[in-house]
Structure 1
Amino acid sequence: MDKKKFRVLIKYCFLKGKNTVKAKTWLDADFLDTARGKSTIKHSYTKLRCGEMNTEGGEHSGRPKEVVTDENIKKSTK
């Protein structure tokens, strides 16, 4: 199961009022081969409690991707 579908299931558990333990138990029972870890579910619940209801994968902080351009190629060949 892809990450987006799993985020939707976690959101479903959250909206149904299940706590993280009950959500993990339900997800493990029905989706054993693809269920996420306890910390992933807790992190998702934290985001949901703060009002972030989007289930799409957002941008992540950290090192930006480098763009391959002619200028960058010329710099690397010098």
Structure 2
Amino acid sequence: METKENYLPSLITETPMQGRQLAIMLARKSVAAIQADSDIRKKLRPDYAEDTQQLIASAQVIATEFQTIAAANNYWK
């Protein structure tokens, strides 16, 4: 297994907006890890870009990531 960059040094963010951006980045990194071939990801994009169910599923993944980040940040209290 090759060494990858550490794109996630911490779940701690200064603001909820930064937490949301981190959640989106984590979701994108997960997709790239699952389907490592960028050409295939680009080929598949039109299939899900107009599919409401797949877009909602993507939003749910981001929401789950955000939930974890919010908890790690004590909900920015």
Relative to the length of structure 2, the TM-score reads 0.31
Which of the pair has the greater relative contact order for Cα pairs under 8 Å at 6+ separation?
2
Q: Which has the higher helix share?
A: 2
Q: TM-score, normalised by structure 1?
A: 0.30
Higher alpha-carbon Rg: 1
